[in-house]
Homo-oligomer: A and B are copies of this chain.
Amino acid sequence: MFKLEVLVTLKKDVLDPQGKAIEIAAKNINLRNIYSVKQNKYFEVFVDKVPTQNKAKEIASKLSKSLLANEVIEDFKIIKCRKV
């Protein structure tokens, strides 16, 4: 089995309302040094019954394209892949 880590981030210039809400909340609780916050998604994907790392990456890439990321507004990146 392979464990892959997939990072899904908003594309540049796409509004991040959750990040904005955290920035405002930080000011409200007197954390005034917080300049900005961006919230992203981070997935741990376990791929089973594949022979090679490359095949696992290919499957995780398909999964990301179809389910994890909305490629209109988000980018995804497979940041790690290791055998477990």
Residues of A within 8 A of B (CB): 1, 7, 19, 22, 25-26, 29, 31, 33-50, 56, 59, 62-63, 66-68
Contact = CB atoms under 8 A, between A and B. Distances in A.
- Counting every copy of the chain, the complex holds 2
Given A31-B62, A33-B49, A37-B43, 20 more contacts: A1-B35, A7-B42, A22-B68, A26-B63, A31-B59, A31-B63, A33-B56, A33-B59, A35-B46, A35-B48, A37-B45, A37-B46, A37-B63, A38-B43, A38-B44, A39-B41, A39-B43, A40-B43, A40-B44, A42-B42
Given A31-B62, A31-B63, A67-B25, A40 B37 contact: no
Nearest to A40: B42
Prevailing SS type, chain A contact patch: mixed
